[in-house]
Structure 1
Amino acid sequence: MRSKKIVAEMSGVLALLIAVVMMLVNQPHIKAATVDEVKAKGELVMGTAPDYPPYEFLATVDGTQKVVGMDVQIGQDIANKLGVKLVVKAMDFDSLLVALETKKIDMVISGMSATEERKKSVDFSDPYYKSKQMFVIRKDEASELKSAEDIKDKVVGVQIGSMQQDILKSSFPQAKSSALTNVNDLLLSLKSNKVSAFLTESAVAEAYVSHNSDITSLSADVNEEDMSGTAIAFSKNSEDLVATANSAIKNITDNNLISKYLAAAGNYLESPSAQQQGPWQLVLSYWPYFFSGLGTTLLITIISIFFGVLLGVVFALFRISRFKLLNMVTAAFVEFIRGTPLMIQIMFVYFGVGAFVNIPALISGIIAVSINSAAYVSEIIRGGINSVPKGQTEAARSLGLSAKDTFTSVTFPQAIKNIWPSLGNEFISLIKETSIVSIIGVADLIYQLKAVQSVTYQGVIPIVIAMIIYFVITYSLTKLLNHFEGKMKHE
């Protein structure tokens, strides 16, 4: 009997998986945006990963947090050509092409190189920038690592999906690659001796070296002519948008505006007061970033807990229902959610479902986190209900209580007492799990942590501050839950 139930659940999960795959395969072809469409909606949406100063990073402008940098200036030039407003959407670098494919954005300007592999999936503009490549190393190893030749057999950090990853593979085949999401992580790897160097563009290297006294840089001796260069990515068959971008790039090149844009970006990074501050004071001066991120994290957590519990109760009741079809479908759905990573679920809701319905990043994050929590809450509640002795139910029914009254007055109250510790652990875990929503550009605490890292060039201190904030929240919630648990025990 038990084996048949397992087979039924597995069949349900498999059927659900097939349905999801078929939905993705049969989704309508998303046509590339055209100049006319962009003009009609009055805005050009640019996707970028704002963790790469001076090209793109977050800064406070007139009291408002904005993405600024050289690439944003180039995006603004293209928007001006079209006579529309530029809208900048921030997300992780490795999510940008997915966002472009699902039409969440109209173009990608994020220091992206126009490789042959990428050209198979997207259209690129003409290159707008070719930069010298630099290795960033620890200053105490400068006497040993005097040239690129000395690094060829070392462990070298590169950003995932970046031009530097391709350069390292082709020009330094003996080097061992350590690919990470962003440059801040590469800096941390370097300082913690995980890598001997990391490879990046000269402007980025110089910016980090000028803000960290324990690192230095040296030339990678890579021929610029062999590099594809940095370009703007558009959806396939976006010829008119590419032509507009190329026209703007020609104007930028003819008037030598790149150096001007880099200098303007540097103004956001350099401030006399910041130079006089120590690392801790500098990072703490960005407390509004942490405060804003904390507010978003708590908002997502509170809403997700509410809907997670609500849906969890419904799922649990469906699981114990006598209707076999309802029971089987719910079981399959719950097991599918519990068997897939939350990060994938967030990306699926934002990019996958977003191909049919345009759901904002914050709402997508809340939906994914709520459903994920509901799957776990449902199993906790189901286990609590099943843990109540059957004799309690039989006694209540023998006293004349209806099935509904028995459940609400006898079974469920006892189940809540049994499951409260597990439910509390789920709530605490939920606070920490919301950190994943930053991958789609939701400005939660982790997103703001990365922003502070980019602006201050400090890797560890922002992490420490975020850890303390998370600890204070989870510890306070633990104490509150323990208080209610103690009251339940004395009832």
Structure 2
Amino acid sequence: MSNTSTRLRRGAIGVVGLVAVAVTAVVAGGAAAKPAAPGNPYNLNKVGTLTVGMTLQFKPQMYLTPKGEPAGYDVVLVKALAKRMGVKLDIKNLDFNGLIPGLVSKKFDMVSVGLSNKPERRKAVSFSRPYVPYAQIMAARKGDSTAATIAAWNSSEKAITSLQGSTAEQLVLKTFPNAESKSFPDQNAAFLEVATGRADGIVVENYLLAQFNKSNGNKLKQVAFKKPLQVEYGSYAVQKGNTALSNYLSKFICSQQKSGQLAKTYKATIGASLPPMPVCR
């Protein structure tokens, strides 16, 4: 996944753009909570069909197969969601910047693209509880014998790579200030610097490590710190005030989480173990 796509999903789409979207939502009457209509308990735009906005460009989380079919973690989940709701599923594939405006204008019922629940976004849409984690971890070469502690890696003898301008780069600078920080504009270059022995470790999202290893003979290993360096979460977005749907989505996520199905889906599609998720009460 590109650095741009990562920052877009975790950050805001632009204050000016979101304020404009938020104003549109208020004008459209989307700010107040909507009571469920008879025969349409989740306030779907089209009764009997769950329309989901996605950007199918983020493999392995969501993408199109060579045959043009939606696939990935998010796709498996929304298929299970629609089945549980007893409705048809209609996936709309849009560029990322069109998702929130499209949701506000009722082109679809929800957005599934790993959006972070940011204050600016809450002006325009409502969110479910988190459904996808983004864990920042450390990886090193298979034979590296450095102790799996922050102190051992926070050394002037260590060189740690990251993607330039990313959350990972900031984590390297903050968590390992004594180490040499080597950032690269290309994610693969940051990986190869470690794989070829020119650097000792890389801070990266866990699923990106799984993808790299799959294509490069498992050259790297995850450093077994007690916990990830940082975990961020993505949530589903729905039209502002549609608490009936957002509450149902949160319950669905918790049912998947408690049953262990969420972890199975994550492992099968992402290729890594599910990072810690917020506890369901």
Name the TM-score, length of structure 2 as normaliser.
Answer: 0.59
1:131-280 counterparts in 2 under 5 A?
Answer: 132-136=135-139, 139=141, 149-150=153-154, 154=160, 156-157=162-163, 164=167, 168=171, 172=175, 174=177, 186-188=187-189, 190-191=191-192, 197-200=202-205, 202-213=206-217, 215-219=219-223, 221=225, 223=227, 227=231, 229-265=233-269
Give the deviation of 1:25 after TM superposition. 10
Is 1:52 equivalent to 2:59 in the alignment?
Answer: yes
The secondary structure found in structure 2 opposite 1:40 is coil
User: Are residues 156 and 265 of structure 1, via their aligned partners in 2, closer, same or farther at CA, if it must alter by over 3 Å?
Assistant: closer
1:266, 1:143 → 2: CA distance? 27
Q: Deviations over 1:180-220 (max 9, x none)?
A: 7xxxx522554479x973511x3442232122138524348
The match for 2:279 is none
The match for 2:87 is 84
Q: Deviations over 1:139-170 (max 9, x none)?
A: 4995789766349985521796xxx5698389
Is 1:69 equivalent to 2:69 in the alignment?
Answer: no
Match of 2:43 among 28, 36, 39: 36
The match for 2:11 is none
1:207, 1:261 → 2: CA distance? 16
Name whichever structure is richer in strand by fraction.
Answer: 2
The secondary structure found in structure 2 opposite 1:108 is strand
The match for 2:128 is 125
Unaligned runs of 5+ in 1: 1-22, 268-491
Q: Could you tell me which amino acid in structure 2 is paired with residue 58 of structure 1?
A: L
Higher RCO (C-alpha 8 Å, min separation 6): 2
2:216, 2:63 → 1: CA distance? 18
The answer to whether the Cα contact below 8 Å between 1:44 and 1:84 also exists between their aligned partners in 2 is no
The match for 1:448 is none
1:116, 1:50 → 2: CA distance? 25
The answer to whether the Cα contact below 8 Å between 1:100 and 1:234 also exists between their aligned partners in 2 is yes
The secondary structure found in structure 1 opposite 2:51 is strand
How many residues are aligned here? 232
1:192, 1:132 → 2: CA distance? 21
Give the deviation of 1:257 after TM superposition. 0.6
1:236, 1:221 → 2: CA distance? 39
Give the deviation of 1:91 after TM superposition. 4.6
**CA-based RMSD:** 4.7
Give the deviation of 1:252 after TM superposition. 0.8
Name whichever structure is richer in helix by fraction.
Answer: 1
Q: Could you tell me which amino acid in structure 1 is paired with residue 238 of structure 2?
A: F
1:135, 1:48 → 2: CA distance? 28
Q: Could you tell me which amino acid in structure 1 is paired with residue 58 of structure 2?
A: D
Q: Could you tell me which amino acid in structure 2 is paired with residue 76 of structure 1?
A: K
2:106, 2:226 → 1: CA distance? 35
Structure label with greater radius of gyration? 1
User: Are residues 221 and 115 of structure 1, via their aligned partners in 2, closer, same or farther at CA, if it must alter by over 3 Å?
Assistant: farther
User: Are residues 189 and 78 of structure 1, via their aligned partners in 2, closer, same or farther at CA, if it must alter by over 3 Å?
Assistant: same
1:167, 1:108 → 2: CA distance? 28
User: Are residues 45 and 30 of structure 1, via their aligned partners in 2, closer, same or farther at CA, if it must alter by over 3 Å?
Assistant: farther
1:176, 1:47 → 2: CA distance? 35
The secondary structure found in structure 2 opposite 1:127 is strand
The answer to whether the Cα contact below 8 Å between 2:48 and 2:88 also exists between their aligned partners in 1 is no
2:193, 2:170 → 1: CA distance? 24
1:146, 1:121 → 2: CA distance? 43
Give the deviation of 1:114 after TM superposition. 3.2
Give the deviation of 1:179 after TM superposition. 9.4
Give the deviation of 1:245 after TM superposition. 0.4
Identity of aligned residues (%): 20
